[in-house]
Amino acid sequence: MISDTQPTSLLYQNGILERHSQNPIISPGDMPVRCSSVFNCGAVWFEDRVLLLLRVEDMARDNKFYVATSEDGIDFDICDTPIDYPLRDMEARYLENRFDMRITPLEGRFYVTHASWLGGYGSCIGTAKTKDFQKFEAVGNLSVPSNRNAVLFPEKIKGRYARLERPQDINGTGRIWVNYSPDLLYWGQGQPIVLPKTPWSSEKNGAGAVPIKTDRGWLCVYHATAKNCATENYYLGVMLLDLEHPERVIAAPRQFILQAETPYECMGQVPNVVFTNGAVVMPDGTLNIYYGAADTRICLAQVPVNDLLKYCLSEA
């Protein structure tokens, strides 16, 4: 658990998040296979290293997932073969693609949640578990469509498993909800996460990285979008949720914490996108936020986790 009594550094000159100077840290040309893009990676601390599950699109735009590991969280060794990930019956019949994995350490295992696109049936949530990121076991069935951006909390809340997710309406928009389960199989008692209405989140929002437990609440980095005359732009925001009732928002600043500004964020197969589904608290207390830039490459933004917590509370 992170405590807000730890000392904080000075705010960064260009805002609360600082882009790493080596961005993009992983591009298609860094992959050991030919591909069109690598982005939207799950992230976790595993065996004294940062481990990423990379979403990689080949030249047919089919998705596979590759493991990458790093001691410093910046320079990664990338496995040259994709993971062997289990299929469910519905996926075997209708699957067109899987994408955007999140990784949650929970009860001695690592749970991976992802979206499965089932053609005309829409997007469903799938879950699997692993101990070593080599063998994966499917957990339950897919959710009903249309749902995505599922993120498991790293511990039970009042005796139940909990996850953030984003049910979608027929227009493809949606908002973050929290849902509960006694066994990771059956989910219910869902409630919406009510965030401030802002111009940068007017279209939709969805869960991002796995919630971080602090002594003030669950610290969550999320994404939101807004349309302009040319594109739908993606932003990152931060919120703090109640530890025992995560449907209750303690703090949610109206300001975003990251927007697409650099050429590598603004130019790619989907322009003007910053999207995270993985963040890791490093041993020195720095939060490494790994994000997809323009749906083409992976970048890194950093902030002391305690600074982000104080910012969230002070700007709400």
- Within a domain: 7: no
> Domain total for the chain?
1
Rounded CA-CA distance 252/221 in Å is 10
Percent of the chain with pLDDT over 90: 91
**Average pLDDT for residues 121-135, to the nearest whole number?**
96
- Within a domain: 148: yes
- Within a domain: 279: yes
Residue type, 275: F
- Within a domain: 268: yes
- Rounded to 5°, the CA angle 27-28-32 comes to 110
Residue 126 has pLDDT above 50, yes or no: yes
Residue 15's pLDDT band (cuts 50, 70, 90)? low
CA distances from 2 to 7, 37, 169, 215, 307 (A): 12, 35, 36, 6, 11
Q: Which residues pair with 108 in a beta bridge?
A: none
Q: Strand, helix or coil at 298?
A: strand
Q: What is the pLDDT of residues 96-123, one digit of tens each?
A: 999 999 999 999 999 999 999 998 899 9
Q: What is the pLDDT of residues 41-74, one digit of tens each?
A: 999 999 999 999 999 999 999 999 999 999 999 9
- Within a domain: 5: no
Q: Which residues pair with 116 in a beta bridge?
A: 98, 124
- Within a domain: 6: no
Burial of 56 (0-12, 13-18, 19+ CB in 10 A): buried
- Within a domain: 170: yes
Transcribe 227-290 into DSSP letters. E-SS-EEEEEEEEEE-SS-TTSEEE--SS-SEE--SHHHHSSSSSS-EEEEEEEE-TTSEEEEE
**Amino acid 39: pLDDT:** 98
Burial of 131 (0-12, 13-18, 19+ CB in 10 A): exposed
The CATH number for 244's domain is 2.115.10.20
Which residue did the predictor score with more confidence, 10 or 22?
Answer: 22
Residue range of the domain that includes 173: 18-315
Which helix (H) or strand (E) segment holds residue 154: the answer is none
Residue 3 has pLDDT above 80, yes or no: no
Q: What is the pLDDT of residues 249-292, one digit of tens each?
A: 999 999 999 999 999 999 999 999 999 999 999 999 999 999 99
Cβ 142 vs Cβ 125: under 8 Å? yes
Q: What is the pLDDT of residues 142-194, one digit of tens each?
A: 999 999 999 999 999 999 999 999 998 877 789 999 999 999 999 999 999 99
